[in-house]
Amino acid sequence: MKIELQRKLDEVLGPILCFLFWPFAPKNEKKKNNKHNFKKVLVIKFFGLGSILLITPLLKQIKKKFPQAKIYFLTFKNNFQICKLIPEVNEVFTLEAKTLLTFPLEFLSLLKKLRNEKFDLLIDLEFFANFSTLVSFFTNPKCSVGFESFKFWRQRFYTNSVVFDHGKHAIDNFSRTLEVVSQEKNLNKDLNLKIAGNDLEKAKNILKQNGLSSQNQFLVVYPTAGALCENRRWPKDHFLKLLKLILSYKKNLKIVFVGSKSESSSAQELIAGLGKVYQPRLINLSGKTSIPEVCALMKLAKLFIGSDSGPLHMAEAVGTPTVSFFGPETPALYGPIGENHAVFYADLPCSPCLNVYNSKRYVCQDNRCLKAIKPETVFKVVKKKYLA
248-293 pLDDT, tens digit per residue, is: 999 889 999 999 998 999 999 999 999 999 999 999 999 999 999 9
Higher pLDDT, 132 or 30: 132
Break the chain into its structural domains and give their ranges: 3-179, 197-385
Q: What CATH code is assigned to 197-385?
A: 3.40.50.2000
32-73, pLDDT tens digit by residue?
Answer: 555 578 999 999 999 889 999 999 999 999 999 999 999 999
Spatial separation of the C-alpha atoms in residues 164 and 152, rounded to whole Å: 14
DSSP string, 180-249: TTS-PPP----------HHHHHHHHHHHHHTT--STTSEEEEE-S--SS-GGGPPPHHHHHHHHHHHHHH
131-179, pLDDT tens digit by residue?
Answer: 899 999 999 999 999 998 777 677 788 888 898 888 899 999 999 999 8
Identify which of 94, 170, 139 has the alpha carbon closest to the alpha carbon of residue 329.
170
CA 194 to chain centre: 16
Per-residue pLDDT, 379: 97
Per-residue pLDDT, 301: 94
Per-residue pLDDT, 356: 67
Per-residue pLDDT, 31: 47
Identify which of 328, 326, 321 has the alpha carbon closest to the alpha carbon of residue 305.
321
Per-residue pLDDT, 97: 73
CA 202 to chain centre: 24
Kind and range of the H or E run holding 143:
strand 143-147
Spatial separation of the C-alpha atoms in residues 293 and 213, rounded to whole Å: 16
Q: Is 123 helix (H, G, I), strand (E, B) or coil?
A: strand
Per-residue pLDDT, 354: 75
pTM: 0.90
CA 355 to chain centre: 15
Spatial separation of the C-alpha atoms in residues 244 and 273, rounded to whole Å: 10
Over residues 5-26, the mean pLDDT reads 76
Contact between residue 200 and residue 83 where contact means Cβ atoms under 8 Å apart: no
Q: What CATH code is assigned to 3-179?
A: 3.40.50.2000
Per-residue pLDDT, 172: 93
Higher pLDDT, 228 or 76: 76
The per-residue pLDDT of the chain, averaged, comes to: 88
Tell whether the model's pLDDT for residue 320 goes beyond 90: yes
Q: Is 73 helix (H, G, I), strand (E, B) or coil?
A: strand
Percent of the chain with pLDDT over 70: 91
Spatial separation of the C-alpha atoms in residues 307 and 266, rounded to whole Å: 13
Residues 6+ apart with CB under 8 A from 200: 296, 299, 300
Per-residue pLDDT, 361: 62
Tell whether the model's pLDDT for residue 237 goes beyond 50: yes
The yes-or-no answer to whether 3-179 and 197-385 have a common fold is: yes
356-380, pLDDT tens digit by residue?
Answer: 665 566 667 778 899 999 999 999 9
For 275: left if phi > 0, alpha if psi spans -120 to 50, otherwise beta; the answer is left
Over residues 113-120, the mean pLDDT reads 95
Residues 6+ apart with CB under 8 A from 85: 193, 194, 195, 291, 292, 295
